[in-house]
Amino acid sequence: MRIGVDFGTTHTAAARYDGRVISFVPLDPQNSTPQMLRSLLYIDRAHQHRLGVDAARTFLAQDTGRDVILEDKLVGTIENTVASQEGSEPIHIVYDVTIQDDVGVRGRLLQSIKTGLRSRNYTGTNIFGRFYTLEELIGLILTHVRQQAEITLGQEVRTATLGRPVHFSNNSTDDSYAEDRLRQAAGMAGFQAVDFMPEPVAAARFYLQEARPRERIFVFDFGGGTLDFTLIASQRGKKPYGILASHGVAVGGDDLDSALMRGHVAPFFGTESIVDVNYDGEAIPFPVDMARLLEQWQTIPVLSRPQHKKVIDRAIRYSEEPEQFRRLHALVTQNYGFALFERIEQAKRALSSADVARISLDAGAFRLFTSLHRRQFNRLIQDELATARLGVRRTLSLAGVSPDSVDVAVMTGGSSAIPLFQQMVAAELPAARLVQSDAFGSVTAGLALDAYERS
């Protein structure tokens, strides 16, 4: 029994093809789409873990709205030897090394775990006194996938075709290292043999499951962590196909969320306001390094540390817009970052079909309510759009084909439905007809088809 598994930055899915029908494995009964598991992992102080919607709901219930309580925690010592005057013994000085730890936290929520695969520097993380390797963390998700597949299919599952981005890294050595790490994680999850398939190739495989005329197919796979492109040449009435070129850029749906936060939401928390004036009457703007910490929910609690909180308290006292900084104080000291980014992500999705979306959060200590128009959204994501456009052109260049020789553009991945990116692809590939494939299921289905052929 071999299945296809798409372990994604945002969502994870699995499917089986039996030669007639593609069947998705239900991975999360609490999700409105049960075959989709949000790639979220929550680990509590007892080292019990929760996944998907359960992980998000537990974190929102247990750790949102509470006070961030920082205490110094001893993590080690540093010994330094200082030379002394002639005839005297060297002086040994021992320093305690401490970090500020949030002792009020009930559990750790981990998101976008897949992105850690491409970093050699990220080996894992310490959670409540236990070190978890990155492979272990991914293995917890893949174990759930395998177990649910066995329950659904009624037999043992030990082999799989796993999706992977075109490039984990532009460095070939680092790219192989990342794939090896994913293979180790699958082994920890109980998979005895795995093969890998680039995710946009899997999406093309799903599109080509039916015999089609001879076509050049451009796959635009826009996920949570990466944007991948593949240009494929199909043959009339035949399943085999040739890959003309593959390319990828480090832009994902998470980057769009950060752009929305930075350009539209963060100003409500004082990032464009004056903190105070100095003794010369010169305005002191909000620190750039603090504003950057607001761009991801995981780094927002860092702003509760004394050196940053001191700036916030000063702004509440002396700024002409103290209400914004009171909002910021509540956001960072009561752990509302994840809840806020959930609202931002929901608004981003809504703008794929609506002209206006609302971002609202009633946090008790503060209320945020703002409308976001699609034209504002488009303006905020121009850098990401430019990177995507260059990626399309680079893929065509690698293939050595002209833009007007592409017949079909297959759009897949959650962010591929954003109208601005669809308009860009249509402009760059003027002769191609756009096909919106199953945003979250086409890659998984293609992997299942590949798994069946391998078996």
Share of the chain above pLDDT 70, in %: 90
Q: Is 2-67+108-196 a CATH 3.30.420.40 domain? A: yes
Lowest mean pLDDT among 85-89, 158-162, 242-246, 249-253: 85-89
Q: What is the pLDDT of residue 440?
A: 79
* Tokens at 10, concatenated: 């945002």
pLDDT at residue 69 is higher than 80: no
Q: What is the pTM of this model?
A: 0.85
pLDDT at residue 75 is higher than 50: no
* Tokens at 175, concatenated: 């790219």
- 439 versus 63: the higher-pLDDT residue is 63
Sign of the C-alpha dihedral, residues 371, 372, 374, 379? positive
Share of the chain above pLDDT 90, in %: 73
Sign of the C-alpha dihedral, residues 385, 289, 282, 328? positive
Q: What is the pLDDT of residue 237?
A: 47
For 174-230, write each residue's pLDDT tens digit. 899 999 999 999 999 999 999 999 999 999 999 888 767 788 999 999 988 889 999
pLDDT at residue 93 is higher than 90: no
Q: Report d(CA 314, CA 322) in Å as an integer.
A: 10
pLDDT at residue 433 is higher than 70: yes
**Which amino acid type is present at position 449?**
L
Cα atoms found within 13 Å of the Cα of residue 237, Cβ hemisphere only: 0
Query: Kind and range of the H or E element at 277?
Result: strand 274-277
Q: Report d(CA 114, CA 8) in Å as an integer.
A: 7
For 103-125, write each residue's pLDDT tens digit. 668 899 999 999 999 888 889 99
**Contact (Cβ atoms closer than 8 angstroms) between residue 22 and residue 445:** yes
As a whole number, the mean pLDDT across the chain is 90
Q: What is the mean pLDDT of residues 406-425?
A: 95
Q: What is the mean pLDDT of residues 435-445?
A: 88
Q: Report d(CA 294, CA 9) in Å as an integer.
A: 20
Q: What is the mean pLDDT of residues 240-267?
A: 92
Query: Kind and range of the H or E element at 289?
Result: helix 288-293
The residue whose two tokens read 């040739």 is 242
Kindly state the DSSP code that residue 166 receives in the 8-state scheme. S
Q: Report d(CA 286, CA 269) in Å as an integer.
A: 10
Query: Hey, where are the domains in the chain?
Result: 2-67+108-196, 70-102
* Confidence label for 8 from pLDDT (cuts 50, 70 and 90): very high
Q: What is the mean pLDDT of residues 433-451?
A: 91
Kindly state the DSSP code that residue 300 receives in the 8-state scheme. G
